[in-house]
Amino acid sequence: MTKISWFDSPTTVDGALVNAERARVGGLHRYWANQTSNADPMVVLGIVGREIPDIGLGTSVVAMQTTFAKTLAIQSRTINQVSGGRFTLGLGASHQPAMERGHGIKWDRPFTHMTQYLDSLMPLITDQKVSSVGEFVTTHAKINVPGPAPEVVLAALGPKMLKLAADRTAGTITWMTGPKTIASHIRPGLGDGQIVAGVSVWVTDDPAAARERGNEMLAVYGQLPSYRAMLDHEGMANPGELILAGDPAAIRAGLDEYRAAGCDEIAVNVLGGPDSIEAAWELATSTGGSI
């Protein structure tokens, strides 16, 4: 059984509340919010967790370079406290262009950096105290946020990062990764950990045009090395080829491929205009939250 969730990039808290409530009423497993240039996902999910019951919440994903481990642990435990234990922290290492050109942060050995970040973060998440020294991350801290420890999943694509996810977290959340690659690369590299797959869908009667437009919208993912490797592994030249585009039956068949590949959860990321979004809501909620 593979759970179905809703992936969102809200610009307002009110918009997030509307979509999270719709996902809850529709029986979807989780409401994911991403970290881009829109509303801050930690703030959004804290409010959603307080206002909307009975649905999982998650970030997809927070870049480790943007937040001290102590701060992120406090934020994560606070959201989990507010939501009654429904929060999952999706964590990633971002990408070289975003860090160096966008923030002036040197991109250096992301695997080692992430390992040291987890050395600080995970004890704070679980035990609320840590004393960790590293080249990239050093943290000596105690925090005090009562309540259950949130789950953590790691955005992992390469073999070393997948093993790290398996060893230190509950699993991985993927993007730009097709079902063949999940079955032949992600699942073997991760072992028994959770796989959450972010999957773009576009409900349309012209799938070729949708994928062509998708190539323009998602072009950057074909240029970033980690995603480029996943596209190559899937045998796809352009990111638009990964979009599940077509009528609801075709998209459902595509989701079934991800289920068969070993995904535990699919986070549906909807592209296109209002008609596509509404049709995708109908499709997602018609599953009752799982396929």
pLDDT tens readout for residues 179-213 = 999 999 999 999 999 999 999 999 999 999 999 99
Assess if residue 291 is contained within a domain. no
Whether 9 is covered by a domain: the verdict is: yes
C-alpha 239, offset from chain centre: 17
Chain centroid offset of residue 174 CA: 6
Please list, in sequence order, all residues whose beta carbon lies within 8 angstroms of the beta carbon of residue 167, skipping any fewer than 6 positions away: none
Q: Is residue 80 one of the residues assigned to a domain? A: yes
Please say whether the beta carbons of 30 and 55 come within 8 A: yes
Which letter does DSSP use for residue 41 in this model? H
- The tokens of 262 are what? 């070993």
User: Coil, strand or helix: which one is 198?
Assistant: strand
Does 35 fall in a domain? Answer: yes
- In-domain check, residue 266: yes
pLDDT at 19: 98
Please give the pLDDT value at position 68.
98
CATH number where 51 lies: 3.20.20.30
At 108, which amino acid appears?
D
Question: How many structural domains compose the chain?
Answer: 1
pLDDT of the residue at 210 = 98
**Alpha helices (H) along 7-133:** 13-25, 41-51, 69-83, 96-103, 110-126
- Residues 105-152 pLDDT 10s: 887 899 999 999 999 999 999 999 999 999 999 999 999 999 999 999
Q: Would you call 237 helix, strand, or coil by DSSP?
A: coil
Check the CA dihedral 100-107-62-188 and report its sign.
Answer: positive
Over residues 208-263, the pLDDT tens digits come to 999 999 999 999 999 899 999 999 999 999 999 999 999 999 999 999 999 999 99
**CA 91 and chain centroid, separation:** 8
Distances (CA, A) of 232 to 93, 149, 160, 223, 236: 21, 37, 18, 11, 6
Model confidence pLDDT, tens digit, residues 13-44: 999 999 999 999 999 999 999 998 899 999 99
CA distance 275 to 62: 30
H or E segment at 213? helix 207-217
Catalogue the E-assigned strands of the chain: 3-8, 30-33, 56-59, 62-63, 87-92, 129-132, 139-142, 151-154, 171-174, 194-203, 244-246, 265-270
Does 96 score more than 80 pLDDT? no
Mean pLDDT over each residue of the chain, to the nearest integer: 96
Per-residue pLDDT tens for 263-282? 999 999 999 999 999 999 99
pLDDT at residue 72 tops 80: yes
* CB environment 214-227: b (16+ within 10 A), e (fewer): bbeebeebbebebb
Q: Is residue 94 part of a domain?
A: yes
Query: How sure is the predictor about 101, in pLDDT bands with cuts at 50, 70 and 90?
Result: confident
Cα 268 from Cα 7, distance rounded (Å):
5
Q: Which domain holds residue 54?
A: 3-286
